[in-house]
A and B are shown apart, each in its own frame.
Chain A
Amino acid sequence: MTASTLPAHPSRQGRPNLFDLAALLCILGLAVLLASAGRHMLAPLSAPNAATIHLDPSWLPGYAVRTTLRMFAALMASLLFTFTYAVWAAKSRRAGLILVPVLDVLQSVPILGFLTFTVVFFMGLFPGQVMGAELAAIFTIFTSQAWNMAFSMYQSLRSIPPDLDEVARGFRLTSWQKFWRLEVPFAVPGLVWNAMISMSGGWFMVVYSETITVGNTDVLLPGIGSYVGTAIAQRDLWAVLYAIVTMLVVILGYDQLVFRPLVAWSARFATATIDARPAGDPWMLVLLRRTALLRRVTDSIGNGLTAIGGLPLGRRPSDARHKVRVPERVKDAGWTALLAGFCAVAAWQVWQYAHAAFSLAEIGHVVALGGLTLVRVIAMVLLASLIWVPAGVWLGLDAVRARRTQFVAQFMAAFPANLFFPIFVVFIVHFHLASDIWLTPLMILGTQWYILFNVVAGAASYPADLLEVARSLHVGGRLWWVRVILPGIVPYYITGAIAASGGAWNAAIAAEVANWGDVHLGAHGLGAYIAHATLRGDTAHVGLGMTIMAAFVLLFNRAVWRPLAEYARRHFTFS
């Protein structure tokens, strides 16, 4: 392996060096920012309705910090959730029976819909404090990350390599030791990757959730999202542009300071030799590894954590042997019966409620709206594919272009597309375009990039000898596309399309309605239905809309995407 994968040798003698100075300055700056932002969090909510957001660009850095802090608070919460829920689901077969399907459903529920419930809940928990609104926003971001991460953790825990498991049991590691020595490290690469992918969705959510209006509760949390919200209300296009630039800087910083170092670091935990990571370590990781002082601090923290992971807590494997089989089965039956009973009662309750609250006609109407949105999602995925598949192939077949495109596309995917919405809306308003058609592209604005970067990845890893065969046989034109390149990238394309369509469903809630000053645009669809119900604070209808949307997403995944992905896996993979 290359020298870069060797543990960077602790700097000579451990004397502070120039790198330390740089690192120290960074830390100091961060601390000041954190302190000032934290002060506001606990401030009384003097008059949240009147909270003023200043459109002067000099306020933007401060707003950016608050937005970023919300992101990281949510990330912490998601980690906590992952290490409890997912671990419980994986360790206890009986708990897994119910926890895993619940997670599967939660993954498909449109996240923006949660806002209605959480705002009411958290504002009730902390009346009169900004804290309540903050927590509601953080929870919204949490919902965009936690399910993904928990699923990744669960799957890792269930696929521990059997030989390593045997080593751990053979040496009689306790359950605690095994968890920290084997299971967590094994789960790290997947977890880091999923956390980072979820962050993209998170930026979208944070922007959206900073201006919350649920019925009479109207909250403006200082941040980039509320800045844009205010700019929209005041029809200030320049302010929107400032916000976009600020966001670019924030995401660039996050990508360079957090994302890349983390992914490079997590590669150490990969069990199989995975495809080449970007050549060389990211500069931030190099900086961290070269600073003598910081390194000593992190090393001692690391050693402390390692020691905690090595504590002989929990059961030794041999104890597990003495289980008696028969009562297990009885307990299982009891547990299943309990779950079934609980589900029946819940179903009865929901039926009762729905029966009283909604007429059959209304439900039919909402399903029809869902159909409209479905048509939009399909149309947009097709449109994006028409554009990005040829472009992605062209970009991906050249190594240099592929690398640059990967960077840009990943970056764009992380960028909260809703910051661009006002620009589109200005056009629609200006040219009096039909909002039913022209609001549609907003849905795919942020998620089209998944198609691009997956196609690029597919084209970049296309076997070179097959391309040479095609060239030597003079295969060109349509035949080349149909016989040579498209089948080879299908599995990648499908991965991208699944991500794009999932994201589009969720974005529908934000994209099917739009405002510019006092002009209100709306398209007909399930997203608009949920958005309007949220605005009215009409919990029952939000719930109905969310349920129908979740059902659409689940059905669409099961009926279309999964079989397609399975088919592609069997027919279009090399090896």
Chain B
Amino acid sequence: MTLPAAASPDPTHDELIRIVGCRQAYHKESAADLVVLDDVHLTLRSGEIVGLLGRSGSGKSTLLRIIAGLLPPTSGQVLWKGRELDGPVPGIAMVFQSFALFPWLTVQKNVELGLEAKGVPAAEREQLAENAIDLIGLGGYENAYPKELSGGMRQRVGLARALVVHPDLLLMDEPFSALDVLTAENLRTDLIELWAERRLPIKSVLLVTHNIEEAVLMCDRILVFSSNPGRVAHELSVPFAHPRNREDPAFRQLVDRIYALMTRRAPIVSEAELPGEEGPLPPPSVQIALPPLPINTMVGMMETLAADPLDGRADLPLLASRLQLELDDLFPLGESLQLLEFAELEDGDIILTQEGARFVQSAHDERKHILWHSLLHNIPLVRTIRSVLDERPNHRASAERFRDELEDSMSPDYAKQTLQTLIGWARYAELFDFDEEADQLFLDEEPS
């Protein structure tokens, strides 16, 4: 049995969601508000799969929750079928990265939940749920509890639960990123097949992802998000028919192009803000958030880059598949190397700099020395910390103070994270050390 076919994609492209000038900011007590989304415009129409592609922390999941009606935007307009959205509506359903299944309900009961909330009578509910479960390929598992299922099957339950209410718009929040490679591919293929055969009882899909290939494989339109604050930086349409072939040169070309767009060098401090120009002076050091990146990973990356087949230059998509790295691992790695001037990102390629090559060729002590200089030269906060520690008679300073400084330009979580990463790097270079118990930074020996 199949579900009633969806309304075929409307040639008039009737509009489902329209977002105008949406902004989301979190209020902070001390400093300026933390802006997560800024001036986002977006329109979703019937009959398309749209991908929101961006790095973690770019606010794409926040945008998805705004569209779901779970989160009111700080300002801006969200229109659902032409009317202002003021909370969750029956025509929108969501699939979660974590599956979000109720562990105490069977597959059947989990799927029935949305129908129950709508007040659908029990008999009809059961029938609809069974249909959805069959459609998504879980027939026979109705009485199982989520913990008995594998990750892929759990996400199928999540899908069935969203589909059974016949929503017009299906929101998917990184639905495949908690699954292993093979399972994810299997589920993607099944989903696209159902979509292409028009067997899904939905009109449109909005897919949040940080996987470029996934976006190109599934979507008709891709919106590339920039970070800090999140906004739609680029919009691309994907002209290929389903099923798509990853090895198709045109497919590869598009993937390469998106990599290039996403690695396009964004100035950390824009020219207009540099001192000497008119207008107010910018804060002395705009800090950027650092990912949890151990120094060994960076060294490993540099060594791989320097080694034989690559010889100091690599194509990012190729490197990603070669090292089995997700976009969210690769970009922070590349950017951190760029920050330390050990590598450069250019047109979807990563290139080892001279300094980077020197680092790779050096012995352990020399490496410490190179990193020491690079940290002091390239990261203002490290410079500040070191000079504060040098000045103090006991060479100790509370870490809290530097975290506060970071919080002026990022959320407390990121500030904590960033300082932790810096401490890791500084320990390798023996620039300074950290006393976790006292939450203090200190110099291990007398400075020379």
Contacts and interface: CB of A to CB of B under 8 A. Distances in A.
A320 B144 CA distance: 35
B434 to A, nearest CB: 15
Given A171-B114, A171-B165, A177-B116, A182 B87 contact: no
B147 A273 contact: yes
A336 interface: no
Interface string A142-181: 0000000000000000000101101101111110010001
A181 B116 CA distance: 11
B272 interface: no
A321 B100 contact: no
Interface stretch (A1-9, A29-37, A348-356, A361-369): A1-9
A322 interface: yes
B193 interface: no
B107 to A, nearest CB: 12
A575 interface: no
A270 B103 contact: yes
B98 interface: yes
Contact of B69 (A268, A271, A318): A318
B57 interface: no
Given A174-B117, A317-B87, A166 B96 contact: yes
A312 B115 CA distance: 12
Contacts of A317: 87-88
A184 B286 CA distance: 47
Given A5-B147, A170-B92, A172-B117, A322 B86 contact: yes
B447 interface: no
Contact of A172 (B72, B88, B105): B88
Contacts of B145: 1, 5-6, 268
Contact residues of A: prevailing secondary structure: helix
B413 to A, nearest CB: 15
Contact of B148 (A6, A177, A182): A6
A319 interface: yes
A180 to B, nearest CB: 11
A190 to B, nearest CB: 14
A7 B103 contact: no
A497 B144 CA distance: 41
Contact of B87 (A5, A269, A273, A319): A319
Nearest to A9: B143
Interface in A261-317: 268-271, 273, 310, 312, 316-317
A169 B88 contact: yes
Contacts of A322: 86
B113 interface: yes
Contacts of B100: 161, 163-164, 166-167
A163 B98 contact: yes
Contact of B102 (A174, A181, A312): A181
Contacts of A318: 69, 86-89
Interface residues of A, number: 34
A423 B114 CA distance: 62
A172 B90 contact: yes
Interface string A409-443: 00000000000000000000000000000000000
Contacts of B102: 164, 167, 181-182, 185
A166 B70 contact: yes
A469 B86 CA distance: 60
B90 A1 contact: no
B106 to A, nearest CB: 8
B96 A320 contact: no
B119 interface: yes
Contacts of A320: 87
Nearest to A316: B87
A463 B89 CA distance: 49
A468 B92 CA distance: 55
B94 interface: yes
Interface in A308-352: 310, 312, 316-322
Contact of A185 (B72, B89, B104): B104
A216 B147 CA distance: 60
B68 interface: yes
A256 B105 CA distance: 26
A310 B116 contact: yes
A573 to B, nearest CB: 14
Contacts of A188: 104
A174 B119 CA distance: 11
A316 B100 CA distance: 20
A567 to B, nearest CB: 9
Contact of B119 (A1, A169, A182, A312): A312
Contacts of A312: 117, 119
Given A166-B100, A171-B114, A310-B116, A1 B148 contact: yes
Contact of B113 (A163, A181, A316): A181
A321 B65 contact: no
A48 to B, nearest CB: 47
Given A185-B102, A317-B87, A319-B87, A177 B70 contact: no
Contacts of A173: 113, 117
B232 interface: no
Contacts of B161: 167
B87 A321 contact: yes
A174 B113 CA distance: 12
Contact of B70 (A170, A185, A273): A170
Contact of B103 (A169, A174, A269): A269
A173 B113 CA distance: 9
A269 B145 CA distance: 11
B420 to A, nearest CB: 15
A1 B165 contact: no
Contacts of B70: 166, 169-170
Nearest to B162: A170
Nearest to A312: B119
A474 to B, nearest CB: 30
A188 B102 CA distance: 13
Nearest to B68: A170
Nearest to B114: A171
A1 B147 contact: yes
Contacts of B147: 1, 5, 273
A312 B94 CA distance: 21
Given A7-B143, A170-B70, A271 B88 contact: no
Contacts of B106: 7
A522 B140 CA distance: 70
Contacts of A174: 117
A270 B102 CA distance: 10
Nearest to A1: B148
Interface in A222-262: none
A188 B165 CA distance: 29
A340 to B, nearest CB: 23
A177 B117 contact: yes
Contacts of A321: 72, 86-87
A310 B113 CA distance: 9
Contacts of A181: 102, 105, 113, 116
A5 B116 contact: no
Contact of A166 (B65, B90, B104): B65
B93 interface: yes
A171 B148 contact: no
Contacts of A270: 103
The 7 closest A-B pairs by CB, nearest first: A318-B87, A163-B100, A171-B114, A269-B104, A185-B104, A173-B117, A171-B117
7 contacts: A166-B65, A170-B93, A172-B89, A185-B104, A273-B147, A312-B117, A317-B88
Given A166-B94, A171-B113, A321-B87, 15 more contacts: A5-B147, A6-B144, A166-B70, A170-B88, A170-B93, A170-B94, A171-B114, A172-B88, A172-B90, A177-B117, A271-B103, A318-B69, A318-B86, A318-B88, A322-B86
Interface of A: 1, 5-7, 161, 163-164, 166-167, 169-174, 177, 181-182, 185, 188, 268-271, 273, 310, 312, 316-322
Interface of B: 65, 68-70, 72, 86-90, 92-94, 96, 98, 100, 102-106, 113-114, 116-119, 143-145, 147-148, 161, 165
